[in-house]
Amino acid sequence: MFYREAGDFSTTYAQDNQTFPIKFDRYRYYVVLFIAIFVIPFIINDYWANSFLLPFLIYAIAAIGLNILVGYCGQVSLGTGGFMAVGAYACYKFMTGVDIWWGGELLFRLPQFNIFFSVIMGGVMTALVGVLFGLPSLRIKGFYLAVATLAAQFFLVWLFNRVSWFYNYSASGQINAPERDLAGILITGPQTEPWATYLFCLFFTIVCAVIARNMTRGASGRKWMAIRDMDIAAEIIGVNPLRAKLTAFAVSSFFIGISGALFFSVYLGAVEVGEAFGIQKSFLVLFMIIIGGLGSIFGSFAGAAFLVLLPVVLKIVGVDMLGWPTDIVAHFQLVIVGGLIVMFLILEPHGLAQLWRVAKEKLRLWPFPH
Amino acid sequence: MNEQLAFTIEVFLNGLMAGVLYALVALGFVLIYKASGIFNYAQGVMALFAAMTLVGIQNGQVPFAHLINAIFGTDVHKFGWHVHSFAAILLTVIVMIALAWMVQQFVFKHLVGQEPIILFMATIGLAYFLEGVADLMWGSELKALNVCASEGNCLPQGMNVWLEGTTYEALGYGFFIDNLDIVASIVAAVLVAGLVIFAQYTKQGRAMRAVADDHQAALSVGVSLNFIWVLVWSLAGFVALVAGIMWGAKSGVQFSLSLIALKALPVLMLGGFTSIPGAIIGGLIIGVGEKLFEFLIGAPFLGGATENWFAYMLALVFLVFRPQGLFGEKIIERV
């Protein structure tokens, strides 16, 4: 009744090109933004920030990044964990001042970056590494590429474990985020307020989502999708596969790097690379975009929310309500996640995003069935 | 004989033995990939599942004991009997066949005609599912696996004393090689020979090759695709069981067993997804390569533990020059 284009006339090209052409969608978007920015920070508490909101926002960025590569450009990557680690370690190095050594002597040391720019640098460094590991994609395709990205995963984790320069020669081999503030408000370290960290992550999530949405519906997104659908045909109609694939790798890795940087500095605070950014993380983010929907920004959010909430809900139901031991609940979680992946691939290969699209289509026709 | 050279040769031999085990896992991948075009990531978890089932049956564990106890408040753990190894292996094979049937019936039957990458992701989901089920059924603690023909007549452990003694007398340097590795190599050789004979000379084997060549042509001459796929998954389950026994006897049955799938992936890339000889030769190259690299370059210069990624890097560099692997079918793309 209210969800339709009728009566909503575009009079300028800008209106014609807007992200949400339907009025209801547009207002829903503003309402969600309003609640996220002006309501949640006032009612947030530590439990909700740490168990749901922060991981949701951070994984959503990673899922958007991976979705650009897998969902839009069709290059399956299993190296997300490794790329997140690059973001985290780059962020750490820039936070504490990058030191360059030559022949056993300290050549120079960059000044310590502000936390905001450290996170950005985390993204930039990851984009460079992503392009490097994306180069083989020009010759290697499909499964071979998926397996090749595992090379990035294992090599990067090994690198951060072995080269002590990356963790500033600390004895534990961990990296710990020092206390950093933005305009006097603490963002990292143990003394932070939940609303501050929440808003910091929210800012990055919104910016990343807007950039991703506009890139994917613009010229570059169309090139990626042409490559995804059939790369030889795309090449023949004039898409440069080198540029299209490498930009997809760069943009995707940039987002994944930012999410890795936030995951380390704001959410966890201290990271051991094999544990936090192992191959399980790669699969987790991949599952998010499968359940959420390949090739959909909304799907990335939905998938991230779903897989972040699932363990929380299972813990509440299994451990607190039924009183089962935690290990059984953890095993159940594996069964449920695995089962859901298979179920989604069989019943709805386009994920939660497709359910949402179907619902919108129904709304548009409502109250008529056809 | 030069000490350093002898040591290098020993590393080489150990690499060959490790390579045989990699090849064993890779074989399971190739079987399924050739017949159905499914790249089965769950192969490693299948090995874990098979090994856990074997241990569970041997020790007379009650399946889902923890879960039953948690729900009903009971305290059951074991039936209190021990099953002979051969009977247990037979029962495990039956379980793996049942699993193959269920996988085909409930998952891949519904995914026929989907893109390969969707099928691949479904097998990742399957891997998680199976891992959870295996843990729920038999518990996730580390278990010792020992297959015995009779009392005191088990799979051998430890290093081969005879080989060390003989080589010491002949060359002045005793080679250190695990007994279990030697057994694994022999078993793998027998298994491969058996599979090749099965594929070449039996009716079902021919049907299997026909399906691998062309699904529709096979269908049109009356081969049941469904049956062949169940057969292939059962065979892969059997290979997984053998791999599970060998790796389980070596380092115990636990979660890390499923990570052997990750070891087998570069083997496949190197050898090509569609070639059984490729899997074997790829396994040997990776096994030898990573051990030698660790010994000659990794440990002295790079701080060690390079085995985790060396195989992938080797395969990656190799693929850039030959995208279909050593023995893979040439990739022809048409618009």
Q: Which of A325-329, B92-96, B145-149 has the highest mean pLDDT?
A: B92-96
| Stretch 175-234 of chain B: residues touching chain A, C-beta under 8 Å | none
Please tell me which residue, B335 or A190, carries the higher pLDDT value: A190
**H-helix segments, chain A:** 13-16, 23-34, 40-43, 46-48, 54-67, 80-96, 115-134, 142-162, 194-216, 219-229, 231-236, 241-262, 273-276, 279-292, 297-314, 326-347, 351-365
- Each domain of chain B, given as residue ranges in start order, spans 3-253
pLDDT for residue B79 is more than 80? no
Tell me if A121 is assigned to some domain.
Answer: yes
Please tell me which residue, A125 or B331, carries the higher pLDDT value: A125
Task: Note the ipTM here.
Answer: 0.83
C-alpha closest to that of A308 among A57, A83, A77: A57
- Identity of the residue numbered B64: F
What is the CATH number for A261? 1.10.3470
| A279-292 helix and A80-96 helix, angle to the nearest 10 degrees | 120
List pLDDT tens digits, range B175-226: 777 777 788 888 888 888 888 888 888 888 888 888 877 778 888 998 888 8
- What number is the average pLDDT over the span A347-359? 86
- Please name the residue of chain B whose CA is at the shortest distance from the CA of residue A341: B125
Chain centroid, CA A131 distance in Å: 17
Average pLDDT, chain A: 87
pLDDT for B184: 81
Pairing of strands B148-150, A270-271: unpaired
Looking at the complex, report in whole angstroms how far the Cα of residue A259 sits from the nearest Cα belonging to chain B: 23
Chain centroid, CA B88 distance in Å: 19
Partner residue opposite B303 with nearest CB, options A162, A230, A331: A162
Q: Which of A7-11, A136-140, A331-335, B260-264 has the highest mean pLDDT?
A: A331-335
Reported confidence tier of residue B67, pLDDT bands at 50, 70, 90? confident
- How many of the other CB atoms lie within 10 Å of CB of A280? 11
Percent share of chain B, pLDDT over 70 = 93
Question: How many pairs of residues across A and B have Cβ atoms under 8 Å apart?
Answer: 146
pLDDT for B265: 82
- Identity of the residue numbered B286: I
User: Residue A232 belongs to what domain range?
Assistant: 21-365
Reported confidence tier of residue B244, pLDDT bands at 50, 70, 90? confident
Contact B128/A at CB under 8 A = yes
User: Could you tell me the CA-to-CA distances from B266 to A86, B15, B285, B311 in Å, in that order?
Assistant: 23, 15, 10, 6
Pairing of strands A181-182, A105-109: unpaired
Reported confidence tier of residue A81, pLDDT bands at 50, 70, 90? very high
Torsion angle in degrees (nearest 10) through CA of A331, A285, A290, B109: -50
pLDDT for A171: 80
Reported confidence tier of residue A221, pLDDT bands at 50, 70, 90? very high
What is the model's pTM?
Answer: 0.88
Torsion-angle region of A364 (φ positive above 0: left; ψ -120 to 50: alpha; else: beta): alpha
pLDDT for A58: 94
Partner residue opposite B323 with nearest CB, options A76, A139, A161: A139
Judge: B323–A327 Cβ closer than 8 Å, yes or no: no
Residues of A in contact with B133 (CB under 8 A): 335
pLDDT for residue B307 is more than 60? yes
Total structural domains within chain A: 1
- What number is the average pLDDT over the span A117-133? 93
- What number is the average pLDDT over the span B97-105? 91
Residues of A in contact with B266 (CB under 8 A): 147, 151
Judge: B122–A342 Cβ closer than 8 Å, yes or no: yes
Reported confidence tier of residue B64, pLDDT bands at 50, 70, 90? confident
Torsion-angle region of B214 (φ positive above 0: left; ψ -120 to 50: alpha; else: beta): beta
List pLDDT tens digits, range A23-79: 888 888 899 999 999 998 888 888 888 888 999 999 999 999 999 999 899 888 889
DSSP letter (8 states) at residue A52: I
Partner residue opposite B118 with nearest CB, options A154, A161, A349: A349
